[in-house]
Structure formats: structure tokens, C-alpha cells
Amino acid sequence: MNDNKSGFVLKEVSFAYAQKSLFEALSVSIGCAEFVSVVGPNGAGKSTFIKLLARLLEPLSGEICFKDRALSAYSRRELAQLLAYVPQESYFALDFTVAETVLQGRHPYLGTFERYHSSDYDLVHSALQRLGISHLLEKGINHVSSGERQLAVIARSLVQQPSVILLDEPLNHLDLSHQHQVLALLSQLNQEGIGVMLVAHDLNQAALTSQRMLVFSQGKLAEDGNPNDLLTADLVNRYWGIKPLEGRHPESGKRQIFLPL
């Protein structure tokens, strides 16, 4: 849909797990500064798609390019300066403090044996403040709630200063207040020029925040367009098997759906 060559370009990409084939000859372009929501039923391939973009998985065939260069041609260090990945859940073998965990996002910028600089710590404190978790900086990362840990991982992604942030269902462990806070932050980051790729289960949240929606179903890209055009009862019925009620958000006027009783 978007031919912005500074972003992702997937050419005839295929991938398969042992028992399941996904994305047979998938071709799609995604601009570097877009806010894209990735939605679909469970098992549709959403997380796999994001992991392919983050180069956590490698395609069986085809090519993924970023900024006019094959993703496979980047070193891990180079890629970590361009792309930040936020998984659904994070586990830490060592009990770093929250501040130390966030500081790890600056590691791709350090040379061999180079120490962190005062500017790195400034970025950490700024990210903690933006996520509202400055009060946790000395807490052990394994001694905070799962939601607070997720906020710390998002803060770590911010200090990477990426061109694009890839988030795989980042809102799962967050309460309503923090969900709203993170979505508002992602919208603000996008306005600052950072691309956002957000895997989401909540179609209403996705439609309110993103400018483009990719709908995956059974390992295929089934729909690609503006959420305000795509989010209809027919679409939900086609891919999720339920027919919701349709409405509009009272402030934005954007399409929303409501589950039937």
C-alpha cells in the first residue's frame, strides 16, 4: 500500500514452522514513519510477522528490506540502533534494577569496553519519566508487577532511539490507565517521526490510534487499509466469526465495534 522505500519492503516472503506454513509469497511495503496496527484471530501469524521484521526469525524464501537494504545485511548492532522490539512478555534471569534494565537499551551504541555516558543516563531518566515509573528505578525488575515490567521494557526500547518500534501485544498486562498512557505515548512518538508497528487484539484501540491496519488470517495478509474503512461488522464476522454492532467514537468519530449481548 505504501511505497515509501525508507521503510520495510517484503518481497515474496514465505515462512513455516514444523507443522504450519505462513506467508506464502507475501509482498507488502510499510513506510518508516507509519503507525500500523497488526490484527487478526489467534494463530493468524501476527507475532510471526513482527518477529520477521525484527529479524528474530528468518524467512524461508523471499527478502525483507529496511531502508533500501536487505535486513540480513545489517549487523545485530546496526539493527538495534534502528529497530526496537517489545515482546508480549519478558523474563530476566538476573535481577537487574529497573534503571539498569532500561539502560541496556543503550548497549548497541557502546564500543568495546566503553562505559555508559551521562547522556545515556539522561535518556534513561527521561524514558522512565515518560512511562511514569521513575519511582521504580531502584526496584529489582523481577520484584515489580508484570505490568510495571512491561512498562520498563517499553522504556528500554525508547532509549534505543529507534527509527521504528515493533510491539507484540504490549498492552496485555497493563491496566486501563497504563494502556491509555502507552497508546498516547506511541501516538506522540509517531508524531515525532518514529514508526510504530503494533500487534493488537483490541480492534477499537487499534482503529483509534493507527493510520493503517493489516489484517492477518490463516497465515495470509487478508486486508490492508485505513482502519476507518476496514473496521466493519462484516470484516469482524469474516475473520473472527462474530457479528458485532457498529458505531462511532463520540470524540474522534472513528469507527468502533461493540460485541453483541
* pLDDT at position 17: 87
* pLDDT at position 145: 92
Mean pLDDT of 70-86: 96
5 pLDDT above the threshold of 90: no
CA-wise closest residue to 17 among 35, 43, 50: 43
- Residues forming beta bridges with residue 72, ordered by sequence position: none
Q: Tell me, which fold does domain 8-258 have in CATH?
A: Rossmann fold (3.40.50)
Task: Say what percent of the chain tops pLDDT 90.
Answer: 86
Mean pLDDT of 231-244: 95
Is residue 154 within 8 A of residue 188, CB to CB? The reply is no
Residue spans per domain, the chain: 8-258
* pLDDT at position 73: 96
2 pLDDT above the threshold of 70: no
- In angstroms, the CA 184 to CA 212 distance is 17
3 pLDDT above the threshold of 50: no
Average confidence score pLDDT of the chain: 93
4 pLDDT above the threshold of 60: no
* pLDDT at position 204: 96
CA dist list (Å): 19 to 15, 62, 75, 191, 221: 11, 20, 30, 41, 19
CA angle, residues 74, 76, 80, in degrees to nearest 5: 100
